[in-house]
Amino acid sequence: MAANQAWGRGLVTLPENTKGRDFVAGDLHGQYTLLMNQLDDVDFDEAVDRLLLVGDLIDRGPESFDCLHLPYRPWCFSVLGNHELMMLQAMIGQESEAVIGWFQNGGQWVLNEDWDDLLCVAKDLVANLPLALEVPCQERRLGLIHAGVTSGVWGEFDALRDVWTRDLMKPTHDWYVPDDPVVEGIDAVAVGHTIREGVTLRGNVVGMDVGAARGKAPEVWEVCALLEAVESHQRSGRVTTEFKPLLSDRTVHGF
């Protein structure tokens, strides 16, 4: 199976949550307990609330197996991250270079798990994670994709580049980063993949990865609050707005 195999289901649109709240979290990288602590802080109600994830559930952290199973829960939805892509290329594609690359990037945790069980999860769940999610909130729409929308137009995706790009969230001194990155056709887009010191807004793109791969708690924001923050940022005229964590390890916004 070729390395550029297009995994995933493209774009999945969720109905509006009229009974509870929607939350979006940054890359997890195996930080299951820290995520659950964050959800406890917002009184997350599994009966009515939903959790949306920007991918990279696995690798580098201590509880990758638990994080990998989150999308089996009816209240949790995730897009495909590059670490899930590496898992698929290694386990299903059976590419020797992919296996080595995955292990070099945090995939060694699988050595402590049952390979056959993980292979079933890879085929049943991971291979069917969508490339992008879209969710409405009060007549606005938030999109989620792991790394970025390289076309600049929501709905026009590149199955490989959009899980790997770092262009939009690199430091502003990198000359090729646009001053005002806006993805057309959507109110805001939440991404992960590139670690920042805090949740970072540029144009209508929101970088959610604050370093779970380094042991930090993933940021959790209520979707409506995130959309309001994007609107405020765009009105401000600033190139970048950054919300640094209020606490060193745990912080929750929008409650």
User: What is the C-alpha separation between 180 and 226, in angstroms, rounded?
Assistant: 18
Give a yes or no: residue 203 inside a domain. yes
Which two three-digit tokens encode residue 209? 């990865």
| 85-113 core/surface letters (b: 16 or more CB in 10 A; e: else) | bbbbbbbbbebeebbeebbeebbebbeee
- pLDDT tens by residue, 28-59: 999 999 999 999 999 999 999 999 999 999 99
Whether the per-residue pLDDT at 253 is higher than 50: the answer is no
> From the candidates 29, 83, 146, 193, which is the catalytic residue?
83
For the segment 133-149, the average pLDDT, to the nearest whole number, is 96
User: What is the C-alpha separation between 23 and 144, in angstroms, rounded?
Assistant: 12
- pLDDT tens by residue, 3-12: 345 555 799 9
For the segment 124-143, the average pLDDT, to the nearest whole number, is 96
Q: How many other C-beta atoms lie within 10 A of the C-beta of residue 215?
A: 14
Going by the DSSP 8-state scheme, the letter that residue 149 receives in this structure is -
| Residue 6: predicted pLDDT | 54
pLDDT above 70: percentage of residues in the chain = 88
Mean pLDDT, the chain, whole residue set: 89
Beta bridge partners of 136: 141
Give a yes or no: residue 1 inside a domain. no
pTM of the model: 0.90
Give a yes or no: residue 195 inside a domain. yes
| Residue 175: predicted pLDDT | 43
| Number of domains into which the chain is organized | 1
Give a yes or no: residue 182 inside a domain. yes
| Residue 186: predicted pLDDT | 98
Give a yes or no: residue 4 inside a domain. no
Give a yes or no: residue 3 inside a domain. no
Give a yes or no: residue 5 inside a domain. no
The residue behind tokens 């670690």 is 195
- 239: confidence class by pLDDT, cuts 50, 70, 90: confident
Going by the DSSP 8-state scheme, the letter that residue 102 receives in this structure is H
CA distances from 237 to 101, 170, 224, 241, 251 (A): 41, 19, 21, 10, 26
Beta bridge partners of 144: 133, 190
Whether the per-residue pLDDT at 212 is higher than 50: the answer is yes
- 93: confidence class by pLDDT, cuts 50, 70, 90: confident
The CATH number linked to 101 is 3.60.21.10
Would residue 83 show up in a list of annotated catalytic residues for this protein?
Answer: yes
Q: What is the 3-state secondary structure (H, E, C) of 106-135?
A: CHHHHHHCCHHHHHHHHHHCHHHCCCEEEE
**Cβ-proximal residues to 161 (8 Å cutoff; 6+ apart), any chain:** 147, 150
Q: What domain range includes position 17?
A: 11-253
Give a yes or no: residue 162 inside a domain. yes
Whether the Cβ atoms of residue 135 and residue 43 lie closer than 8 Å to each other: no
